[in-house]
C-alpha cells in the first residue's frame, strides 16, 4: 500500500509540475500591455494583477493613469465578478489626479466610461436617460474637442433619437446640425450625419434626411483592411430617395452604384427591378400628362 501511495504521489507531482505560476513582466508599459492581453483572453484575475503591478511600478508617471484605466475597465466590464463601485472610484481618481496631457487623455476616456456605465444597464432594466445625458454632458464640458467627448456627444444624441418622439428628435437635430457645421474635423462626423438623417426621418423631412444620409456616406472614414459593406448604405439611400423623397435621379445613382460595385449582393435583383419600376412610372406619368394636355386642347 505504501508503494501505491508513493506512486500516486509521484504521479500527482508529475502532472502538476506543469502548473507553475506565470511570472509577471517588469516595466510598467509591458505590464499594461500584458494586462490588456490578459483582459482580451478573459483572464481577468491576471489582468488585474498586471494593472495593479503597473500602477505600483509606474506611480507618479503617466503610466499610472493608463494602468488605473486598465484596472477600472476590468472591474467595470469583467463578467462575472464586475464591481461597478470600485470601477467608478478608480475612473474618478484618474480624472481628479490628471495633470499632464497624457493623463488628461486617459481622464477623458474615463469620463466617457462613467457615462457608459450609466447608459449600459442590466438586461431587464431601463437606463435613467436624464442621468445618462447629464453624464455624457459632463464629459463633453470637461474635455471639449477630445475624441471621447465627441463620442459622448454621439451617444447622447442617440438617446434622444431612441425615444422616437418628434420633440426629442428636434432637440437632437438642432445639436447635430451645429456639430456637423462646427466640427467638420471630427472623426465622428459620418456618425453625426447618420444620426441627423434618422432625426430628419422622425421629423418627416425626407429630403433633409436623404441629404444627411448622403453626407454620412461621403464623410465615412475609409479602412482598406475592412470589407465595409456599402451595399446596404447605397440601398438605404436609394430607397429613401425613391419612396420618401421622390428623387428618382438620386435613387438611380445609388441603385446603379450597388449594381456596379457589389455583383453578388442579395439586393442586386431588387435594384434592377427598382430601376425598371421607376422608368415605367415616369413613362406612365409622362403619358398621362400628354393625354391630359391632348384632351385639354
Partner 1 sequence: MRPSILTTPSQRHKQRKGAQALSFVRVYFALFVIGAAFFWSIYSIVTTRAEEAPPGTTTLRIGHWQLETGVRDGLSKLAAEYQKLHPNVRIVQDAIPISVYPTWLTTNLLGGTAPDMVEVPRYHMPDDIILSFHNRYFLPITPYITRPNPYNKGTNLEGVPLRKTFKDGMRNAYVKETQEYMSIPLSLFGARVFYNKDLLKKLTGLNEAPSDYRAFLKVCAQIETQKNEKGQRYAAIAGSRDHLWAWEAMMFDPLTYPAVRRVDFNRDGVVSSHELFVAIKTDRMSLTFPAFKARYQMMREVTNHFQVGYTGVPLGDAIFLFAQQRAVFLSTGTWDARSLQTQANGKFEIGIMDFPRPAPSDPEYGSLMEGPVYEEQEQGFPFAVTRNSKNAEIAVDFLLFLAAQKQNEELNSIMGWIPSIQGAKIDSFLKPFEPHLEGVYTALMLRLGGETRNKYQQVYSLYQSKQIDFDQLVKEFEPFYKTRGEADYLESQRDWRRGILINEQLLAAQRARAMLGTGDEQKLRWIKYRAFTTSRQVLPEVEHSQQLALIRNGPSLKSTGPYEYSAELLDRVRRRIFGAHKEAAAR
Which residues 236-295 are close enough to bind partner 1 by CB under 8 A?
A: 236, 239-240, 243-249, 263-264, 266-270, 272-273, 281-282, 285-286, 289
- Within positions 116 to 145, which residues make up the interface with partner 1, using CB under 8 A? 116, 120, 122-124
CB-side exposure of 24: number of CA atoms within 13 Å?
18
Nearer to partner 1, 92 or 109 (CB): 109
Grid cell 462613467 is found at 114
* Residues from 159 through 198 that contact partner 1 (CB under 8 A): 159, 161-164, 187-188, 190-191, 194-195, 198
Give the integer Cα–Cα distance in Å for 111 and 94: 9
151 scored as a contact of partner 1 (CB under 8 A): yes
The answer to whether 247 and 207 are in contact (CB under 8 A) is yes
Place of cell 456599402: 230
Q: Which stretch binds partner 1 (CB under 8 A): 26-34, 92-100, 138-146, 177-185?
A: 26-34
Q: How many residues bind partner 1 (CB under 8 A)?
A: 79
Q: Which is nearer to partner 1, 42 or 144 (CB)?
A: 42
One character per residue 74-113, x = contact with partner 1 (rule: CB under 8 A): --xx-x-------------------------xx--x----
Enumerate residues 36-65 that contact partner 1 by CB under 8 A.
36, 39-42
Question: For helices 62-77 and 101-119, what crossing angle results, to 10°?
Answer: 10
**Between 124 and 185, CB nearer to partner 1:** 124
Which residue's entry shows cell 484605466?
Answer: 69
Q: In angstroms, what is the minimal distance from the CB of 120 to partner 1?
A: 6
Between CA 38 and CA 50 the distance in angstroms is 9
- C-alpha 35/C-alpha 65 separation (Å) is 14
Q: How far is CA 4 from the centre of its chain?
A: 61
Task: Select the residue interacting with partner 1 from 221, 279, 280, 291 (CB under 8 A).
Answer: 221
Q: Which stretch binds partner 1 (CB under 8 A): 91-99, 137-145, 173-181, 233-241?
A: 233-241
**For cell 435583383, what's the residue?**
269
> Of the listed pieces 54-62, 134-142, 176-184, 225-233, which binds partner 1 according to CB under 8 A?
225-233
Q: Of 243, 245, 246, 275, which Cα lies nearest the Cα of 260?
A: 275
Say if CB 77 and CB 100 are below 8 A apart: no
For 81, other C-beta atoms within 10 Å of its C-beta total 10
**Out of 1, 13, 19, 96, which residue is the one contacting partner 1 (CB under 8 A)?**
1
Amino acid at each position: 500500500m505504501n508503494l501505491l501511495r508513493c506512486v500516486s504521489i509521484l504521479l500527482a507531482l508529475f502532472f502538476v509540475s506543469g502548473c507553475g505560476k506565470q511570472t509577471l513582466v517588469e516595466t510598467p508599459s509591458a505590464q499594461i500591455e500584458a494586462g490588456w492581453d490578459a483582459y482580451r483572453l478573459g483572464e481577468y484575475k491576471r489582468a488585474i494583477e498586471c494593472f495593479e503591478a503597473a500602477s505600483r511600478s509606474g506611480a507618479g508617471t503617466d503610466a499610472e493613469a493608463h494602468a488605473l484605466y486598465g484596472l477600472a475597465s476590468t472591474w467595470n466590464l469583467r463578467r462575472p465578478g464586475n464591481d461597478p463601485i470600485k470601477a467608478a472610484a478608480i475612473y474618478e481618481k484618474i480624472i481628479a489626479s490628471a495633470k499632464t496631457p497624457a493623463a488628461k487623455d486617459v481622464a477623458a476616456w474615463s469620463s466617457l466610461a462613467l457615462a457608459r456605465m450609466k447608459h449600459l444597464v442590466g438586461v431587464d432594466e431601463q437606463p435613467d436617460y436624464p442621468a445618462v445625458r447629464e453624464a455624457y454632458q459632463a464629459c463633453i464640458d470637461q474635455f471639449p474637442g477630445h475624441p471621447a467627448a465627441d463620442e459622448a456627444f454621439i451617444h447622447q444624441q442617440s438617446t434622444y433619437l431612441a425615444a422616437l418622439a418628434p420633440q426629442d428628435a428636434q432637440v437632437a437635430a438642432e445639436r447635430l446640425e451645429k456639430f456637423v457645421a462646427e466640427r467638420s474635423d471630427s472623426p465622428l462626423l459620418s456618425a453625426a450625419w447618420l444620426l441627423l438623417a434618422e432625426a430628419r426621418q422622425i421629423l418627416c423631412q425626407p429630403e433633409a434626411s436623404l441629404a444627411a444620409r448622403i453626407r454620412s456616406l461621403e464623410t465615412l472614414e475609409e479602412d482598406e483592411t475592412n470589407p465595409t459593406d456599402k451595399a446596404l448604405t447605397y440601398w438605404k439611400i436609394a430607397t429613401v430617395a425613391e419612396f420618401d423623397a421622390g428623387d428618382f435621379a438620386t435613387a438611380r445613382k445609388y441603385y446603379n452604384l450597388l449594381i456596379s460595385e457589389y455583383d453578388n449582393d442579395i439586393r442586386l435583383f431588387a435594384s434592377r427591378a427598382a430601376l425598371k419600376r421607376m422608368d415605367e412610372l415616369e413613362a406612365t406619368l409622362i403619358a398621362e400628362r400628354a393625354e391630359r394636355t391632348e384632351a385639354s386642347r
